[in-house]
Structure 1
Amino acid sequence: MIRRTTLLLGSAAIALAMTTPTFAQDVAREDTVIFDIDRTIQDPENFNWMTDGSGIRRMQGAHQTMWEPLFILNFETGELEPWLASGFEVSDDQTEFTVTLRDGVTWSDGEAFDADDVVFSVQMAMDNEELTAREAATVRGQVASVEAVDAMTVRFTLNAPNPRFIVENFGTRVFGSFLVMPEHIWSAAEDPATFTFYPPIGTGPYTLESIATNRAIWTRRDSWWGAETGFMDMPEPLRVVFLESGGEESRAQLIAANEMDAAQSVSVGTFEAIQGRNPNVISWVDGYPFSAADPCARQLEINTTVAPWDNAAMRRAVAMIIDRTQIVNIAAEGATTASRTMFADYGSMAPFIDAIVEAGLELPATADVEGAQALIEGEGWVRNGDYYEKDGEVLSVSIHVNSASTEYTRTIDMIVEQLQRAGIDARSVPVENSVFWGEILPFGAYEMSYSWLSCGSVNEPWTSMARYTVADVVPAGERSPGFNNTSRWTGPEAEAYSAIVNDMAAMPLGDSAVPGMVAEAYGHLSEGMPFIPLVQAFKLLPMNTTYWEGWPTAENNYNHPFFWWGSGHQIIHNLTAAE
């Protein structure tokens, strides 16, 4: 594999030399940091982040260099680190949040950033249903009213108790957060849904120099409020570039040739080939598994309304047959780890994962085929040749998988092989991305499927666990709300699980009773087994130390390494010129 990838790297060199943009020479390469973007910027002069398709309008540098969040969640510690805000208070009933803004913050045009900007931006989202970005819609659904207490203080009153309100909406929890816009500019917009906000401004230390469909260039300002107030030093890079790499081969060539400093995820073989050419390239972990865990751990969904998988014992048997270590070693090429629970394995989730492990509910990394077969036989199935049979029917299962990624299809191919060897006539059913997410998963049109629907919890357990309560159960053929409980899990175990999770909903974050409640609820979940956790999702991100040091790693874990998220501010501020 490594030899083949090396040849591919070489074959890409001439094409890349013709397509890599040449940047203005007033900023030296050693003063420039270049990040990868993995898609084309479809509408370069549109910086309205509140409308559909706004992800690329932020990840091309806008919410890493120009727009700043109120807080940034630290995945390693679980702490909500203040940025534009200095802190917040919450009422006892978890329905009122009072946020204090940091003194001295200014927009890049010199105007003061204050509570009026926050109130204006939130009210704009609340008043305009055409502002459909996820963060705008979430605020609209949760906030009853927002008001400026004074120039530096904002009070939110919610429609219902929600201890996660700040981290969900303003904490850069996953990808980004609700971003405050300058009232003195946006108030002149006739229609917030069509306003392009170009040229854009922000409170961050960089301003937009130029943008095209394949790159965005950001230049450091002469002054920035953070340095002026003593909040943080000016970042060292004079220029930040976000460059569309064009795919795995070309991004490998760029970073190996020192024409890129941080790249999107690559395969293990490609990464080892890059290191073979450029030993200055590092990853989150020095050696296997190389990668960092993505928030959406992988799992096998089970439709609990379809026989024989409506029997919890049969679902548990499948879980025992699956060898997660084999998936790690073969399907993922060693770039991840076996999941111990349903959660992403972050330091911030350790109290809850540890409680589950201490309760004896940790998933084994290897299979127990004999134990699984005993469960199957206990349900009346008899092995006849290759497969089990009962009442003249062969024990079989079809597993739907999104064909958009070889990671997905290779994993299911591995699981199919494991089930086949154990006596279940399994087969893979690949379907295209739109069909998988539009028809198969939400309507329960599957027996089993590969997904990551327990995604959500990165610092507390309720967000993921709430996705499997009985409140979201709908009949097969109806769309599951928000992809919640697509397995349609019901019954006594599901009821007991839901009662505990519902009790957790309004409990303050950090409540000492929650880990024990998680373990108790997880016991019911393990017994019911509506889905089977498999492995951690992974991002193998090459980072180049030729020009810049201070990249986030497992050893230097000031936060995760996802540089296209709003927390990319932390990465840029931690970079120092290589000696």
Structure 2
Amino acid sequence: MKGVEKIDDLTVQFNLTAPNPRYPLDYWSVKIWGGPNIAPEHIWKDVDPVTFTNYDPEKGLPMCTGPYKLAGTTQTEVTWERDDNWWGAKTGVFKLPEPEKFIWTWAGPEETRAALMADGQLDSLMDITLGALQALQTANPNVITWFTDAPYAWVPDPCSRTMEFNTLVEPWNDPEMRWAVNYAIDRNEIVNIAYEGTTLPSRHFFPAYPPLDAYIDNAIAAGAYDADKLLTSDPAMAEEIIQSKGWVKGDDGYYAKDGKQLSMDIITHEAFIEKQRIAAVVVEQLQRIGINASTRNEAGGTWAEDFWMGNFEVKMGWQTCGSVNEPWASMDTFNTRWLKPIGERAADAQNSWRWSGEKAEAYSALVDEMGTLPLGDPKVQDLFNQAMTLWEEELPVIPITQAKKIIPFDTTYWTGWPTYDNQYIHPPTWWQHFHVIMQNLQATGAQ
């Protein structure tokens, strides 16, 4: 943006540096996180935004416009207390939510969280496996999910699950080695073991939504994208590629070259069981063909910083999100204009994989051209086809699965949670729309 100017008391005008017909869609419409946040000028105009903590509850910082004020934080909890003088309720546009306090807590591993909810000490869980859900509902029949029966999970999350390479780190800077890893992966096994059958393999890094599926189908029909090749599990082919690169399998069962064993370090976020379970299956599959793969959890802040700074080899993640009905937003995450060297912070998930080279540059040019076209322009499909041919040849990220989230709610103390039969909003409580769920919760009166 060049800047924003006030037109009148109810109108502001955003002045952009270049034509961008997607600006309203990509920044102001469907956003689960990372949307623009309006910053109050009287607080921010005279501070250094890099060092200003914006935290002093006694002074009302951070200043919020919602019905809750930040009451305090610790290493494991964030507490919000209701503002009974909230302007939104006074106008009559909204009602004052019933809950007087929200506590967001890190409650430990899955078994600990499930035990707490079984005992009525957690009202919602961010993520849980099918086996844990079934045990939980046996202990606490008041626990509900999006569907009352299998598959229980909410529809695909906008962020599909992906295996993501630092494409500047050897030997994974070689696209053929990344393809070897892809052939070693059996997505059906991942679905059956990691998800217990509650999701489906991904043929692309897009979420499996109909508008995006149509672009993929058209690219497949045009011969520009080979989903069958991507989904092929062929361990023998994987080993053939590895051997063609000069790696030799030793008596220990692992490949080595120039005295160095072929290994892989996969990092996962400590809070996300789903990704940890995917990584565990992938490690087993890579071990079978002779890659000494391992996986380890990192604290959330460390995990994110390692990703942004390029201090990782491979990670199990979901950072290709953005598109929900049109392909540009997710495709732009691979754009070389975001490229930063290892050790320099990337812009969140914007090409934190450090994908570069001639094909990456050609891909980026096509995506840039796509971004100047109006939504629905027929030329978008042709540009998409050309770009996806280049992307698939390089495969900087391996699509793994669609993300169907099992999100349990305990109705012992609160009802009004979103479900398939009451789908007034999506069920994730970690998205920016959670204020809508707040408005719909009703106390049961249970003690």
Instruction: Give the TM-score band, short-chain normalised.
Output: 0.7 to 0.9
Matched, 1:290 2:145: no
Matched, 1:561 2:423: no
Name the CA distance, whole Å, in 2 between partners of 1:259 and 1:305. Answer: 46
2:384 to 486, 493, 518: 518
1:540 to 380, 395, 406: 406
Identity %, equivalent residues: 35
Larger displacement relative to structure 2 (281-290 or 349-358): 349-358
Post-superposition offset of 1:394: 7.9
1:320 to 178, 183, 188: 183
Name the amino acid aligned to 1:479.
E
Partner of 2:205: 342
Partner of 1:57: none
1:368 to 234, 257, 270: 234
Name the amino acid aligned to 2:227.
E
* Residues 574/502 of structure 1: CA separation in 2 closer, same or farther (3 Å cut): same
Summarize the alignment of residues 143-222 of structure 1 with structure 2, pairs less than 5 Å apart.
144-171=2-29, 173-175=31-33, 177-180=35-38, 186=42, 193=52, 196=56, 198=60, 206=67, 211=71, 215-218=79-82
Q: Secondary structure at the match of 2:284?
A: helix
Name the CA distance, whole Å, in 1 between partners of 2:68 and 2:249. Answer: 68
Partner of 1:412: 279
Post-superposition offset of 1:173: 0.7
Post-superposition offset of 1:486: 4.5
Larger displacement relative to structure 2 (554-563 or 413-422): 554-563
For the 8 Å contact 2:98–2:441, the answer to whether it is kept is no
Q: Secondary structure at the match of 1:327?
A: helix
For the 8 Å contact 2:166–2:354, the answer to whether it is kept is yes
Summarize the alignment of residues 472-511 of structure 1 with structure 2, pairs less than 5 Å apart.
472-473=338-339, 477-479=342-344, 481-482=346-347, 484-511=350-377
Post-superposition offset of 1:155: 1.0
Partner of 2:393: 527
Deviations 1:286-338 (A, max 9, x none): 42362554444332233445555444333222212201222233234445432
Post-superposition offset of 1:238: 3.1
Post-superposition offset of 1:341: 1.0
Matched, 1:280 2:135: no
Name the amino acid aligned to 1:243.
I
Deviations 1:177-208 (A, max 9, x none): 4344778xx5799769558552988765x466
Give aligned pairs, total. 426
Larger Rg: 1
Give me the TM-score of the superposition, normalised by structure 2: 0.75
Summarize the alignment of residues 433-472 of structure 1 with structure 2, pairs less than 5 Å apart.
433=299, 437-438=304-305, 442-443=309-310, 446=313, 448-472=314-338
Name the CA distance, whole Å, in 1 between partners of 2:44 and 2:194. Answer: 53
* Residues 226/308 of structure 1: CA separation in 2 closer, same or farther (3 Å cut): same
Post-superposition offset of 1:260: 5.0
Partner of 1:243: 103
Name the CA distance, whole Å, in 1 between partners of 2:297 and 2:138. Answer: 36
User: Structure 2: which 5+ runs fail to align?
Assistant: none
Give me the TM-score of the superposition, normalised by structure 1: 0.60
For the 8 Å contact 1:245–1:251, the answer to whether it is kept is no
Summarize the alignment of residues 30-429 of structure 1 with structure 2, pairs less than 5 Å apart.
142=1, 144-171=2-29, 173-175=31-33, 177-180=35-38, 186=42, 193=52, 196=56, 198=60, 206=67, 211=71, 215-218=79-82, 224=88, 228=92, 234=95, 238-245=98-105, 247=107, 252=114, 255-256=117-118, 261-285=123-147, 286-288=149-151, 290-291=153-154, 293-305=156-168, 308-334=171-197, 336-346=199-209, 349-356=212-219, 361-362=226-227, 367-373=233-239, 375-376=241-242, 396-402=262-268, 404=270, 407-422=274-289, 424-428=290-294
Name the CA distance, whole Å, in 2 between partners of 1:325 and 1:164. Answer: 36
Post-superposition offset of 1:367: 1.7
User: Structure 1: which 5+ runs fail to align?
Assistant: 1-141
* Residues 514/372 of structure 1: CA separation in 2 closer, same or farther (3 Å cut): same
Deviations 1:119-148 (A, max 9, x none): xxxxxxxxxxxxxxxxxxxxxxx3x23222
Name the CA distance, whole Å, in 1 between partners of 2:443 and 2:232. Answer: 44
For the 8 Å contact 1:189–1:195, the answer to whether it is kept is no
* Residues 157/416 of structure 1: CA separation in 2 closer, same or farther (3 Å cut): same
CA RMSD, aligned part only? 4.4
Name the CA distance, whole Å, in 2 between partners of 1:463 and 1:275. Answer: 39
Name the CA distance, whole Å, in 2 between partners of 1:251 and 1:289. Answer: 18
* Residues 207/573 of structure 1: CA separation in 2 closer, same or farther (3 Å cut): closer
Deviations 1:241-277 (A, max 9, x none): 3134551566545544556543333343332222113
Name the amino acid aligned to 2:32.
V
Q: Secondary structure at the match of 2:360?
A: helix
Name the CA distance, whole Å, in 1 between partners of 2:325 and 2:22. Answer: 10
* Residues 440/563 of structure 1: CA separation in 2 closer, same or farther (3 Å cut): closer
Name the amino acid aligned to 2:145.
S
Name the amino acid aligned to 1:216.
W
Post-superposition offset of 1:481: 3.0
Name the amino acid aligned to 1:361.
D
For the 8 Å contact 2:202–2:400, the answer to whether it is kept is yes
Post-superposition offset of 1:503: 0.8
For the 8 Å contact 2:323–2:329, the answer to whether it is kept is yes
Post-superposition offset of 1:343: 2.1
Name the CA distance, whole Å, in 2 between partners of 1:577 and 1:436. Answer: 37
Larger displacement relative to structure 2 (315-324 or 298-307): 298-307
Post-superposition offset of 1:414: 2.3
Partner of 1:552: 418
